[in-house]
Amino acid sequence: MTTADSAEMTGADTALKVRNLNAYYGAFRALKDVSFDIPRNKVTALIGPSGCGKSTLLRCFNRMNELIPGARIEGEVLFNDENVYHPAIDPTEVRYRIGMVFQKPNPFPKSIYDNVAFGLRINGYRGDYDEAVERSLRGAALWDEVKDRLHESGFALSGGQQQRLCIARALAVEPEIILMDEPASALDPIATLEIESLMRELIRDYTVVVVTHNMQQAARVSDKTAFLNMDEDRAGYLVETGDTHQIFTNPADERTEAYITGRFG
């Protein structure tokens, strides 16, 4: 916590509060004492060298990390001031409220429609399915391209379209936060720009947290940036967080400056 802006934030503006988070894989410590706030209805970028724990941190937000055998965490992640790791909390509820989009597009081997409807079905949605599917596909800027072939396989789409389908699938259950782990790294430049502009639109209704190794992307797309680094034991730690503009023009820490100017990582 090195920046002023998080101190200014009131509870209502904060989507997630990370407090003293440590993550382990067996005996290996992947994250060390990470604490920061993620603002609501903003894009927050997590940047840092490969292997510093960005994906791990992201997966800790919606308890996806505990699906990995041997993974364990200490500390708190507060979502609406509730610790998602509280023993009374069901992890499936956390994942229902905090959605995720992965590095490689991973549509189900089902139709476009059924991909989007999947989350509605398992969570017992009782509204109009056609309407919800259309709304989600519009939200992911995919509707116009697929409205005439909703019952074709999701695999029939291009890579960029598949990734937007995955975003639509995540939007369908109306999460509050959408976590994206390098969502454009498997896509061509045009599809990448489409995903980036989509992120800017999504923050009208959602909070977006995106992991990226692409500095330009972080600068283009995010409002706030968190820079992680790793120490000699390869344990990741948070160097600084702040407004993206400030981080990229006037970083407080010299390691951040070295990283964003491409001197390491």
Partner 1 sequence: MLRGGSWDREPSHGASLLRSGRSAPTRGAATGRVVHLIFFLCALVSIITTVGIVLSLLIESLGFFREVSVWEFLTGTRWSPILRPRSYGVLPLVSGTLLVAFLALAVAVPCGLGIAIYLSEYAPDRVRRTLKPILEVLAGVPTVVYGYFALTFVTPQLQNIPLPMFRDLLVFNALSAGIVMGVMIIPMVSSLSEDAMVAVPRSLRQAAYALGATRIEVALRVVVPAAVSGIVASFILAFSRAIGETMLVTIAAGATPRLTLNPLESIQTMTAYIVQLALGEAPHGSLEFQTIFAVGLLLFMLTLLMNVLGHLVVRRVREEY
Which residues would be at the binding site for ligand ADP (CB under 6 A)?
A: 25, 30, 48, 50-56, 68, 234
What distance in Å separates the CA atoms of residue 224 and residue 218, rounded to the nearest whole number?
9
111: which DSSP letter? B
- Piece in contact with partner 1 (CB under 8 A), picked from 8-16, 89-97, 129-137, 229-237: 89-97
Q: Out of Mg ion, partner 1, ligand ADP, none, which partner does residue 110 contact, by CB within 5 to 8 A per kind?
A: partner 1
**Contact between residue 3 and residue 224 where contact means Cβ atoms under 8 Å apart:** no
Q: Does 146 bind partner 1 (CB under 8 A)?
A: no
The reply to whether 166 sits near partner 1 by the rule CB under 8 A is yes
For partner 1, the binding residues in 167-206 under the rule CB under 8 A are 169-170, 173
Which residue is closest to Mg ion by CB?
A: 55
Which of 11-19, 54-62, 88-96, 252-260 is the region at the interface with Mg ion (rule: CB under 5 A)?
A: 54-62
207-211: strand order across its sheet: 82-83, 71-79, 14-25, 28-39, 236-243, 224-230, 43-47, 207-211, 177-181, 98-101
Question: Is residue 265 classed as helix, strand or coil in its secondary structure?
Answer: coil
State the minimum distance, in angstroms, from the CB of residue 15 to Mg ion: 21
Q: Which stretch binds partner 1 (CB under 8 A): 13-21, 77-85, 114-122, 199-207?
A: 114-122
Asked if residue 60 binds partner 1 (CB under 8 A), the reply is no
* CA–CA separation, 136 and 100 (whole Å): 15
Q: What residue ranges in the chain does DSSP mark as E strands? A: 14-25, 28-39, 43-47, 71-79, 82-83, 98-101, 177-181, 207-211, 224-230, 236-243
Closest alpha carbon to 2 in 232, 234, 245, 226: 226
Q: Choose which of 55, 162, 229, 244 interacts with Mg ion (CB under 5 A).
A: 55
- Residue 103 C-beta: closest distance to Mg ion, Å: 7
Least distance from ligand ADP to the Cβ atom of residue 103, Å: 9
- Give the nearer residue to ligand ADP in terms of CB position, either 55 or 163: 55
